[in-house]
Structure 1
Amino acid sequence: MYAARDPFEEHADDFAWCEDVIRRNSHSFYRAFSLLPPRKRKGVYAVYAFCRAADDCVDVEASRERLDGLQRDLERFDAGGMPRGPLWQALGVVFGAFDEDTAPFFDMLEGQRRDLSFRQPADLGELEDYGYYVAGSVGLMLLPLLRAGRPVDDALRADAVALGVAMQLTNILRDVGEDWDAGRVYLPAAVMEEAGLTRDDLAAHRANAAFRSAWERVARRSEELYLPLQRDILRLDEDSRLPALSSLFLYRGIMDQVRADGYSCLERRSAVTKERAAALVDEARALLARDEKAALAAEGR
């Protein structure tokens, strides 16, 4: 008799392809989630590769046809079929091993459609709604990997969505200049009006007091949305807590880097240095150790 092959090993080349996608495109995610055990780590790589494929349909190719093709592939996958390519082979293994649901994957594609017919958000509520589709959905994709084999309640789902939206707001604040050059303004109209920020200011790349005020208004909301999962981090699997908390600290650190760079995000993208990233992971590790110690003390252990 022959032992059944581990599907993760059997599809090693497919997961290697996914890993290359995340390694090339997201240093923060790759650094944080590489701390996961192998199966969960590979699951994150596959989820990220799907999200990158969706994002590239809009940001790289600006192609509704490509996005519609990805939608058809997802529909086929959802119906039990197997589209061609390493992405789908890897996702097939992940869906077989973890309690994944295709609903947030479809939501991600809806978010990309909104970018193809982009209009500036009227207020923070509209921005957060958009943020759910393009990033809160990712939190729901990752949650079955980070709390595997155990029920997930609505409160934890809300935490995962909030984290995704927080990260999207951080991305928007990091990429204000790049988005302006691409013809998009994600800073809400109401926030800009309240701060006295004009489109002429953005066009001239003026990081003036009005820009900093509008930027900080969105930053405060982003920082608020990081807190629920940080508070509930012990509800994740023990082996997933540090990677998830590290991703939170690393992403939140991008905003501090923009501030340290003098709000130069209209001119260039700020990036957390390797040294600072290592310090942020250490901060996450220390906070997690304190929380775990406090939890044990509360249990009388």
Structure 2
Amino acid sequence: MNKKQKRVNHSHSTELKYPILCQGGYGSVIAASMVANPAGEMAVSAEEKVYNVVLKQAALVKRQLRTAGELDVKPDIVLPGTLSLLNEAYDRCGEVCAEYAKTFSLGTMLMTPERQKAIWAIYVWCRRTDELVDGPNASHITPSALDRWEARLEDLFQGRPFDMLDAALADTVTKFPVDIQPFKDMIEGMRMDLRKSKYKNFDELYLYCYYVAGTVGLMSVPVMGVAPDSQASTESVYNAALALGIANQLTNILRDVGEDARRGRIYLPQDELAQAGLSDEDIFAGRVTDKWRNFMKNQIKRARLFFDEAEKGVLELNKASRWPVWASLLLYRQILDEIEANDYNNFTKRAYVSKAKKLLALPMAYARSLLSP
């Protein structure tokens, strides 16, 4: 297969390929995602790399279920004088979550206190990691700084937290079967942001979306827990969590096209842009044309497919954990509606969900959280 054939075939298939293969099982992922590189060797696609991580996370939780009988919180082992400090650390994580993710924070109120605190700790670590490349000091961040952050993460998982916020996560990972791999993968996503400003195809973009957002789902499932009456496989629940992360990140990308272009970044598949008759210059110029509208319609359609895939797994979560997930799904999916309402002008108009619509979404998310699998 020459390069031209490979590119055309790939761009035709990506619209449906990724969400469908998440349902189809590991064999179909391998069959559709391994391709020969120019040297004649078999190259592994982003999808298979990510699915291997999913299998590992699911196996970790299933092993806990077999040994513990039921996935639950491990008992506290507290050294004298440390409990108050730990409570203070979790309280601070809750404050950060409430300040920067109000809707999600509200949704965690139905969780048990242990699960709620653990989710806060994970959220804060993810936010701090994202701030390294997107925050006020982003211009000073180097690969070596990310290496130091990863070393600090490893210390944290070994019970050696650097500060109060690290301590909350260090405690969380002793209570729940949370694996370090998704956390390391998120840092890898930050490295990609330092060295890469364009993506050749959706395979490359999918891997980036997994690193920076799909990982959050894999971190969270062990804490949120699977419903006792769920008949779904652990792998399928993880796949749905992964799909929600991918869907949210694709939505972020489509919302922020203009903002990213002003920073010299294009998080859109280059081959699909070319196929639509568009170029980088069109993006940087911010031209809303019929070609752009058609291109955006296809991108939005793909994001919605990932949201559809994510829906299948929310009902399989522990009932007390579903509300924030449903709220995130419903609100983010509405951003796609707002892009359409703006006539696909995501260059100068920022699509956002109004406060009124957010308030309406919360009871709807709550009602869905009460449904049985």
| Structure 2 residue identity aligned to 1:189 | Q
TM-score (norm 1): 0.86
| Structure 2 residue identity aligned to 1:99 | P
Distance 1:182 1:33, change over 3 A: farther
2:347 is matched with 266
What's the Cα RMSD here?
2.6
Q: Distance in 2 between matches of 1:112 and 1:253?
A: 27
| Structure 2 residue identity aligned to 1:254 | I
2:155 is matched with 76
2:248 is matched with 167
Alpha carbons 1:33, 1:244 under 8 Å: kept: no
Q: Which residue of the other structure, out of 92, 101, 104, is the alignment partner of 2:182?
A: 104
- Listed one character per residue, the Cα deviations across residues 231-272 of structure 1 (whole Å, up to 9, x for unaligned) are 232211011122211211111111112222333321243221
1:25 is matched with 100
Q: Which residue of the other structure, out of 126, 130, 146, is the alignment partner of 1:67?
A: 146
| Structure 1 residue identity aligned to 2:192 | R
Segment of structure 1 superposing worse, 145-154 or 163-172: 145-154
Q: Which residue of the other structure, out of 110, 114, 117, is the alignment partner of 2:195?
A: 117
Q: Distance in 2 between matches of 1:263 and 1:36?
A: 38
Segment of structure 1 superposing worse, 137-146 or 13-22: 13-22
Alpha carbons 1:176, 1:185 under 8 Å: kept: yes
Distance 1:76 1:265, change over 3 A: same
Distance 1:33 1:253, change over 3 A: farther
Q: Which runs of 5+ in 1 are unaligned?
A: 296-301
- Listed one character per residue, the Cα deviations across residues 135-175 of structure 1 (whole Å, up to 9, x for unaligned) are 11111001111116979722211111111111110111111
Distance 1:288 1:35, change over 3 A: closer
Other structure's SS at 1:49 match: helix
- Listed one character per residue, the Cα deviations across residues 10-67 of structure 1 (whole Å, up to 9, x for unaligned) are 5232223323433343345334444534332222221111111211211221412332
Q: Does 1:50 align with 2:131?
A: no
1:137 is matched with 215
Segment of structure 1 superposing worse, 43-52 or 30-39: 30-39
Segment of structure 1 superposing worse, 195-204 or 46-55: 195-204
Q: Distance in 1 between matches of 2:100 and 2:296?
A: 24
| Structure 1 residue identity aligned to 2:207 | D
Q: Distance in 2 between matches of 1:9 and 1:163?
A: 35
Q: Distance in 1 between matches of 2:205 and 2:276?
A: 17
2:270 is matched with 189
Q: Distance in 2 between matches of 1:71 and 1:206?
A: 40
> How many angstroms does 1:104 deviate by?
0.6
Other structure's SS at 1:246 match: helix
> How many angstroms does 1:103 deviate by?
1.1
2:20 is matched with none
Q: Which residue of the other structure, out of 314, 320, 327, is the alignment partner of 1:233?
A: 314
| Structure 2 residue identity aligned to 1:169 | L
> How many angstroms does 1:9 deviate by?
6.2
> How many angstroms does 1:224 deviate by?
0.8
Other structure's SS at 1:186 match: strand
Q: Distance in 2 between matches of 1:149 and 1:76?
A: 32
Q: Distance in 1 between matches of 2:114 and 2:222?
A: 12
Distance 1:13 1:271, change over 3 A: farther
Distance 1:287 1:45, change over 3 A: closer
| Structure 1 residue identity aligned to 2:165 | L
Q: Does 1:12 align with 2:93?
A: no
> How many angstroms does 1:74 deviate by?
0.8
Alpha carbons 1:73, 1:83 under 8 Å: kept: yes
1:203 is matched with 284
Q: How many residues align?
A: 289
Q: Distance in 2 between matches of 1:261 and 1:8?
A: 51
| Structure 1 residue identity aligned to 2:314 | I
Distance 1:11 1:243, change over 3 A: same
Distance 1:8 1:284, change over 3 A: farther
1:220 is matched with 301
| Structure 1 residue identity aligned to 2:98 | R
Distance 1:76 1:152, change over 3 A: farther
Distance 1:69 1:24, change over 3 A: farther
Q: Which runs of 5+ in 2 are unaligned?
A: 1-75
Structure ID, larger Rg:
2
